[in-house]
Amino acid sequence: MQIAYYKTPIGTAKVEGDNNGISSITVIDKPVDTSTEIPICLKNCFLQLDEYFEGKRTNFNLKLNPKGTEFQQKVWKALIKVPYGKTKTYLEQSKVLGDIKAIRAVASANGKNPIWIVIPCHRIIGSDGSLTGYASGLWRKKWLLEHESGIKQQSLF
């Protein structure tokens, strides 16, 4: 397994993967130096993350290899289908998966998503439109949704 650290506008990400694909992208809250040498198997991921944060990429085209249960894998595959700049509720996601009663299990699987941003669990919101349930911090979820909205808020100060 290869590991490299990538600096984003909202924190440093630890990227893990090998020739079988990206297995994990997690945001780290403690200070970590970004990697100066990127393993070949992670270079395309870094390039696509650059493009995403520059506003040039709306879809990722990476080989993914997240570890999880069969149910978690099903939830994560459904997350990838939520379009850039759009949101769905946990209830809508449960309906897509065929079981509205599985809403808590779906929310739990979202919370265990090992591939930050690329598997876009930040696009799932509460039924009332609230930002809820984001392992990387609600402020990051808000930032990502605003980034994807295309509407840039100007500062008054």
CB neighbours of 79 closer than 8 A, spacing ≥ 6? 93, 110, 113, 119, 120, 121, 123, 124
**Do the beta carbons of residue 141 and residue 111 sit within 8 Å?**
no
Give ∠ CA 68-8-62 in degrees, rounded to 5.
Answer: 45
β-pairing, 11-18 with 2-8?
antiparallel
Ranges of beta strands (E only) in 19-157 are: 21-28, 88-89, 124-125
45 is annotated as an active-site residue: no
Catalytic residue among 15, 97, 115, 121: 121
Task: Enumerate the active-site residues.
Answer: 121
